Amino acid sequence: MSPILQLRGLQRRVGSTEILRGIDLDVMPGEVIGVIGPSGSGKSSLLRCIAGLDEIAGGSVQVEGRATQPGDGAIGMVFQQFNLWPHLSARDNVSLALRLVRKMPAAAAAEKAEAALAQVGLGALAARKPAALSGGQQQRVAIARSLAMEPRVLLFDEPTAALDPELTTEVLDVIRNLAASGTTMLVVSHEMGFVAGLAHRVVFLDHGQMVQTGTPQVIFSEAAEPRIRSFLQTYLSRVAWVQG
Ligand SMILES: Nc1ncnc2c1ncn2[C@@H]1O[C@H](COP(=O)(O)OP(=O)(O)O)[C@@H](O)[C@H]1O
Ligand SMILES: [Mg+2]
């Protein structure tokens, strides 16, 4: 089997600042990669470069052996902020790019949007506008919007970071279902338990470099690398009250 996504020497620079310092990664079809690391380590930049939203200074991004092109839909991305149009229904938010970018007729686009909404458990709420949906439901609409474009690889950048804890679960459940159905994805999240349970492989970034990559067991329990241990320690101390 060959990789569905291949990064080679991926570099990003802003002015003289090195933001990504040569990232190499092969992602296999159906693989789920968790991306963790301190704030400012380059997690968002990595996803944005893969999605073609940030310009790369060197290296390559290939999907199924081909360089990605803007607008080819090979990569989908879900952001922390849902970025839904407030004046449009969930259905229209999801179908908009199908109509405008894919030039799909309105009826077919609406049908596809409803199928994508059903996939995230929102089939009954397709007519609602964002203001009439909870934050968790809005993020599920944003996920449906990505799914409707049928990307080869789906990227999540802290998809629950803007949500209250009780709304986080429903979004994590949707992402788990996508993983179980074989969606290839890269997930940046600070929900360490979620990442540990979801990812086939975890990548730890620091200062724009991949410090280590390995199974969740290796990264969360066995990593000897001091930067990983100290990063994980901050999470452990944050939940330490649970153990009393
Ligand atoms: N457009 C930009 N201009 C200047 N610096 C940037 C820009 N985008 C990101 N950076 C810097 O790049 C580094 C990585 O940022 P980012 O990818 O957002 O990290 P993370 O998502 O891990 O918090 C940070 O030091 C950030 O300040
Ligand atoms: Mg970020």
Per-residue model confidence as pLDDT tens digits over 103-143: 999 999 999 999 999 999 999 999 999 999 999 999 999 99
What per-residue confidence (pLDDT) applies to 242?
53
Q: DSSP 3-state assignment of 12?
A: strand
What per-residue confidence (pLDDT) applies to 240?
62
Name the residue of 14, 23, 79 whose CB sits within 8 Å of the most ligand 1 atoms, as the mutation to test its pocket: 14
Cα 232 to the chain's mean position, in Å? 21
CA of 192 to the centre of ligand 1 (A): 21
CA of 37 to the centre of ligand 2 (A): 10
**40-77 residue pLDDT tens:** 999 999 999 999 999 999 999 999 999 988 778 899 99
Q: Which ligand is nearest to the CA of 12?
A: 1
Residue entry with tokens 């990548």: 203
Whose Cα sits closest to atom 6 in ligand 1?
14
Whose Cα sits closest to atom 2 in ligand 1?
14
Quick one: average pLDDT of 203-220?
A: 97
Is the per-residue pLDDT at 239 higher than 70?
Answer: no
What per-residue confidence (pLDDT) applies to 241?
60
Name the residue of 13, 17, 19 whose CB sits within 8 Å of the most ligand 1 atoms, as the mutation to test its pocket: 19
Is the per-residue pLDDT at 207 higher than 90?
Answer: yes
Q: Which of 206, 190, 228 lies closest to 42 in space, CA to CA?
A: 206
CA distance linking residue 43 with residue 187, whole number of Å: 10
**83-93 residue pLDDT tens:** 999 999 999 99
% pLDDT > 90, the chain: 91
Q: What is the mean pLDDT of the chain?
A: 95
What beta strand segments (E) does 43-144 contain?
Answer: 58-63, 66-67, 75-78
CA distance linking residue 203 with residue 192, whole number of Å: 12
Which residues have CB under 6 Å of ligand 1? 14, 17, 19, 37, 39-45
Quick one: average pLDDT of 188-196?
A: 94
CA distance linking residue 139 with residue 119, whole number of Å: 13
- ∠ Cα 40 217 242 (to 5°): 75
Q: What is the largest CA-CA distance in the chain?
A: 58
% pLDDT > 70, the chain: 98
CA distance linking residue 188 with residue 217, whole number of Å: 17
CA of 111 to the centre of ligand 2 (A): 34
Partners of 103 in the β-ladder: none
Is the per-residue pLDDT at 235 higher than 90?
Answer: no
Q: Which ligand is nearest to the CA of 206?
A: 1
Q: Which is the closest atom of ligand 1 to the Cα of 46?
A: 17
Whose Cα sits closest to atom 16 in ligand 1?
42
CA distance linking residue 51 with residue 92, whole number of Å: 23
Q: Which is the closest atom of ligand 1 to the Cα of 208?
A: 14
172 versus 240: the higher-pLDDT residue is 172
